[in-house]
């Protein structure tokens, strides 16, 4: 199924200042979605958060990570691969506790998956060593002697990535022990071994396809040679029964070769179909990613329109309230004038009666 989200929440995202190693730098202007993802093909858990189309968190959970609550609504964890410390500010303590529980749960799952992977590798390597009759030594390469660029650069990253604690920010020191370094070196060696196995399997598959093609060509040449041989035997042989028997055997051989040829062709077609399916899945993934970006852009536009409509509604309500106040004032003045006119009418009536 690939990588799928398994838990999501909303929080404000921060990162430790790479210069001071103690101040928090906000990476999102407002609360964004922070999700746990699980990759079933690689058995890997990741924390991912997007601000628009920009990934502000992309952290792979390892057994050595620790999520720490530094306040009622704030938590943090260190990612040695990204060489940073991530901080999350939640709207409530409940959301923080839920996120911390999921972190611990997926961290334990990552540990179990890693142990199972090591056990499988040990079980796989043991029979191969016994069948070889001794230890199999890997070829020496410049990378195995001197280490890769990532391995050579790892001690420098460890030395320069220790953040100083900030009392006011409650940030934990970003330190790396020798145990963690050894763990990452072991994991890097494991990844190298897996990569080498995958490369060998790919080369073996390619060699098998080439070998099958060569076998197909050889079978076709053999079939043509046998057909020619049958023709020669029919022309030269004077013993009809022996020729017929030999011909029958040759025909059976040809049929067997043709059956084998069809099977090899079907296998090649199956490999081609698998490659085509992989390309289609990649195209679908790219299409879905583009659609997701378009939906996010549309969502931003709708949020802007909603904010504009709210401002207009508030302005209209204020204008209606002012109009009501003015109308009320006019009604009060009109009532006063009507009262004065009534008194004037009564006075005029009295004057007329008196006169």
We report the CATH number of the domain holding residue 111 as 2.30.29.30
pLDDT of the residue at 59: 93
Question: Which position has the higher pLDDT, 168 or 276?
Answer: 276
Does 59 map to a domain? yes
The model scores a pTM over 0.75: no
Tokens 């410049």 appear where?
A: 142
The per-residue pLDDT for range 279-336, each reduced to its tens digit, is 999 999 998 999 999 999 999 999 999 999 999 999 999 999 999 999 999 999 999 9
Residue 86 lies in a domain: yes
> Does 322 reside within a domain?
no
Q: What is the pLDDT of residue 237?
A: 61
pLDDT cut 70: percent of the chain above it: 79
* Tally of CB atoms within 10 A around 161: 19
Q: Which residue has the tokens 């069809």?
A: 262
Looking at the domain assignment, is residue 76 inside a domain?
Answer: yes
The alpha carbons of the chain give a radius of gyration, in whole angstroms, of: 40
* 19 is a domain residue: yes
Considering the domain boundaries, does residue 78 fall inside one?
yes
Mean pLDDT of the chain: 79
Range of the domain at 26: 5-120
User: Computed from CA positions of residues 126, 127, 128, 129, in that sequence, does the dihedral angle turn out positive or negative?
Assistant: positive
- Provide the number of structural domains found in the chain: 1
Give domain status of residue 344, yes or no. Answer: no
Examine the pLDDT at 154 and tell me if it is beyond 50: no
Residue 335's nearest CA partner among 327, 346, 347 is 327
pLDDT band at 197 (very low <50, low <70, confident <90, very high): confident
∠ at Cα 240 (220, 233), nearest 5°? 35
The residues near 19 (Cβ < 8 Å, ≥ 6 apart) are none
273, part of any domain: no
Q: What is the mean pLDDT of residues 120-134?
A: 54
- Indicate the length of the chain as a whole number: 355
Q: Which of 45-54, 114-123, 260-269, 328-337 is least confident? A: 114-123
Contact 349, 341 (CB under 8 A): no
What is the C-alpha separation between 77 and 100, in angstroms, rounded?
A: 10
Residue 143 vs residue 259, higher pLDDT: 259
Burial (CB count <10 Å: 0-12, 13-18, 19+), residue 63: middle
What is the distance between the alpha carbons of residues 83 and 314, in angstroms, rounded to a whole number? 47
User: Which pLDDT score, from 0 to 100, does residue 192 have?
Assistant: 80
């Amino acid at each position: 199924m690939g990588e799928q989200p398994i838990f999501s929440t909303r929080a404000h995202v921060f990162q430790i200042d790479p210069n001071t190693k103690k101040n928090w730098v906000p990476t999102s202007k407002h609360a964004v979605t922070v999700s746990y993802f699980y990759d079933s093909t690689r058995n890997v858990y990741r924390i991912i958060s997007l601000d628009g189309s920009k990934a502000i968190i992309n952290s792979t959970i390892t057994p050595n990570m620790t999520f720490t609550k530094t306040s009622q609504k704030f938590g943090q964890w260190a990612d040695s691969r990204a060489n940073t410390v991530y901080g999350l500010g939640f709207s409530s303590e409940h959301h923080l506790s839920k996120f911390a529980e999921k972190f611990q749960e997926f961290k334990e799952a990552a540990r179990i998956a890693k142990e199972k992977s090591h056990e499988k590798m040990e079980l796989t390597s043991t029979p191969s060593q016994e069948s070889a009759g001794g230890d199999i030594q890997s070829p020496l390469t410049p990378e195995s002697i001197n280490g890769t660029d990532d391995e050579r650069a790892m001690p420098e990253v460890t030395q320069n990535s220790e953040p100083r604690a900030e009392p006011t920010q409650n940030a934990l020191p970003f330190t790396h022990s020798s145990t963690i370094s050894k763990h990452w070196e072991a994991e890097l060696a494991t990844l190298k071994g897996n990569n080498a196995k995958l490369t060998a399997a790919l080369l073996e598959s390619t060699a098998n396809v080439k070998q099958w093609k060569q076998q197909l060509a050889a079978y076709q040449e053999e079939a043509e040679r046998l057909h020619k041989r049958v023709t020669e035997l029919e022309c030269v042989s004077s013993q009809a029964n022996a020729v017929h028997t030999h011909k029958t055997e040759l025909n059976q051989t040809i049929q067997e070769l043709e059956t084998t040829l069809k099977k090899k062709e079907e296998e090649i077609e199956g490999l081609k179909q698998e490659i085509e399916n992989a390309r289609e899945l990649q195209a679908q993934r790219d299409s879905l990613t583009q659609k997701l970006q378009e939906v996010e852009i549309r969502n931003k536009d709708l949020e802007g329109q909603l904010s504009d409509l709210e401002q207009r509604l508030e302005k209209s309500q204020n204008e209606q309230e002012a109009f009501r106040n003015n109308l009320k004032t006019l009604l009060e003045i009109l009532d006063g004038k009507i009262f004065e006119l009534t008194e004037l009418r009564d006075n005029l009536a009295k004057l007329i009666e008196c006169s």
